[in-house]
Amino acid sequence: SYKPGSQHNLGNAADVTMSGINRAEFVEAAGKAGINGIGFYNTFIHVDVRNYKAKWGPYGQYASILRKHGWNV
């Protein structure tokens, strides 16, 4: 569904499910790749390339990785 201002609708976002890689490795790779928006959900991780850092969801266990890549945690 359309949500005004959604990074998905702007073509700037993806929701990623994964197998064979743990979430910490993915978060590290996302940080290295310049991802700015990251949201943690039970079954996927949202990533986007908005022009400012944003995070949401239960990210506590990834705080050190996020901090290393510029998120305020």
Going by the DSSP 8-state scheme, the letter that residue 69 receives in this structure is T
> What is the pLDDT at residue 5?
85
What are the tens digits of pLDDT across the range 36-66? 999 999 999 999 999 999 999 999 999 999 9
Q: Is the pLDDT of residue 31 over 70?
A: yes
Cα torsion 32, 56, 51, 20 to 10°: value is 30
